[in-house]
Structure 1
Amino acid sequence: MKKILIQGGQRLRGSVAVAGSTALALTAQIAALLASTGELKLANVADTMTVDTMNERLRKLDLAVTVNKATHQLIIQSQAKLTADDLTAITSAKVASLMIGPLLARTGRVRLNKDQVPDEIIADLRCLGADVSLNDEALAIKAGRLKGSHLKLADSNCLSTQSLIMAAVLADGITVIENAACDFEVIALANLLNKMGARVHGAGTKIVRVQGVTFLHGCDYEIAGDYLEATALMLAAAITNGDVIVENVHLQSVQGVINQLERMGCTVVVQQNGVRVLGTAVLLPADPQSLFPSTMYPELAILQLLANGKSSNAVMDQRLLDQLQKMQAGVQATAGELILNGPAKLSGIKVKAFDASSALTLTLAGLAASGLTIVENGAYLGDEFEALPAKLQSLGASLQLKDFKSA
């Protein structure tokens, strides 16, 4: 077990390049299941546990996977016929939700645990012609070739949008997804699928249209820079009143972050080699702005806590809230939202992470806190982010990732 030791109060300065997006790489790995011919050659692939784990899953499905970590390249050989269809052993709801469409489209059947994926995805698969039955606490989903339909998402959710797009690309006819998520991850997935021979239109808008095709093929595709890592580094610069240039950033993917930071009083300069963030001594309170990535709301809460006034955020996992309150965070949980009372004076203490997001949130809190913050289970950062502790160190953070026994 590893933990992160952070001595707060250091202003971050310098430049740092983000790795390829782990989230986009994961989606691309799963999209490879849709191809029945050729190779999917991915470039700029991050060296993270999430990517490694998905490679092993693909190998268990009899796909040949070649990894070159030195060059950050990944090659997945397609299979003319897939036979595996059991997702019950997968503990990640995100992975299961993304895999269900490709496997159903390619094999005509999928088996998964009850409540393993959101109900909305299951309901919309029914609209596409799938038959769903419950047997021994497991869902059995069967279909011939799925049929295009008009779907309206109750919640504009990135995961549901991606899952249904991948289910629809091999369906018969046109599928319309209304109230689709506009996240950069949806746009990137559509771009990849179209290079593989799909016909996806309108990604990045509220209405996505998918014209089904009979097969997809491999292609060459470069994974964009990790906008979640870029968001983390931009927030770290603002939290420490620093001056940081974040390189290898796709501007469209962080526009919501730029809007948020400017609204809170920071200066953001778009440069040829990246985005420069200059913090401010007096942060202004602001609720999450449009297009700010919802998956990073917990990390944004740390910046909001430092602002000179009250703001709100979405409800976070109670386990994380408990850890932040140990650091003297002024957070009140009300019905449906969090109230953040700033400016908070965070205090360093021993806290415990339970996943990559909580590890990152607590690390950012440690950068702002007085004294020493110890984040247990710090290795979770490596699940989603490549060498993030080292990158923060390069910017001047007093931070170490150590084995639990040696710290």
Structure 2
Amino acid sequence: MSDAAELVDRVRDGEIALHELEAHADADTAATARRRLVADDTGTTLGTVGEYAIDAADAEPNIENMIGTVQIPLGVAGPLPVAGERADSEKYLPLATTEGALVASVNRGCAVLRAADGANARVTKRAMTRAPVFRVTDIVEAEAVVEWVRDNRDALADAAEATTSHGELVDVTPYAVGDSVFLRFGYDTKDAMGMNMATIATGEACEVVESETSAELVALSGNLCTDKKPAAINAVEGRGRSVTADVRIPNDVVEEHLHATPEAIAELNTRKNLIGSAKAGSLGFNAHAANVVAAAFLATGQDAAQVVEGANAITTVEAREDELYASVSLASLEVGTVGGGTKLPTQSEGLSVLGLRGGGDPPGANADRLAEVIAAGALAGELSLLGALASRHLSSAHAELGR
């Protein structure tokens, strides 16, 4: 095996390519060589990037051309009291972020939830989707394919589920657009986020469609899934997990902790999160749910790009006679506790803080619980920001924290 200096020389001589270093040395040596070469060629000091506690070999399934790691400050908010379908408990919510005042804001929201005897949360739908697109001759042929799919769902399920010991096909919805047919497959992927599982399973199902109909597969993903792009279909039909957290807050708790009346907070939510978002043509009708989703995703090893779907959230607030009702509904929260980035050492520790590392019992329980906790954290963040805006304390809070 070569040392780092030798590898750098061999790359410069054109003997091996930058992406081939792991074939000639262990993962840490390859990363060191690549980091030295990049630092030299760019005139950059990468000493901090090269200081990391993980074994580079652990990261090989998650990164290519590794040169080091980027460290993001990790904080906790809580305890966060949330009663879910899977368990009732108080959790410290790990949040990785570079945005000052975010953790403080969520932490204040957690105090509101504790004073209100906790939030409730429920996962209402589970369906990781993949939607291939097929070519047909015309709409007559498209209709025939659609009818075949509706009549042969069991055959598609048999093919798809043969590829996995955990995934379960729960839905196939056909869409015809001219001479294109889209099939939106939805899977219960248990404790995995399940994008790879859904893709592999759908590939097998597509072979059945092609063998039994006149449709020809054009692409395994036809963008009706919809993955990592703003899409109304995710806001309406959901993707991954659809989850809602809500709370009933006594009026005196609202005024003590949020320094505003329930009526003021309810009006603010209507004018800002509902009317303002509608005027903007937004797909998310909330104050900043993506802040909590992104920070929790980074802390627990989720796919960060899927924050796009995670921001598909609606915040509702109602001033009742003696209480304030508030909820956050996240239509397409894509989370898992096994696979992907959840296996990395620091991210698995983040899941361990929540008691949700690895597979759940029954399968899917841990991912459900993670979705419930993130939803409750988003609710805490919404309440805190709405309170800061209603009391006109937002700018002063940032100024006080020096952000």
- Name whichever structure is richer in helix by fraction: 2
- Name whichever structure is richer in strand by fraction: 1
TM-score (norm 1): 0.20
Pick 1 or 2: higher relative contact order, CA cutoff 8 A, min separation 6: 1
TM-score (norm 2): 0.20
Structure having the higher Rg: 2
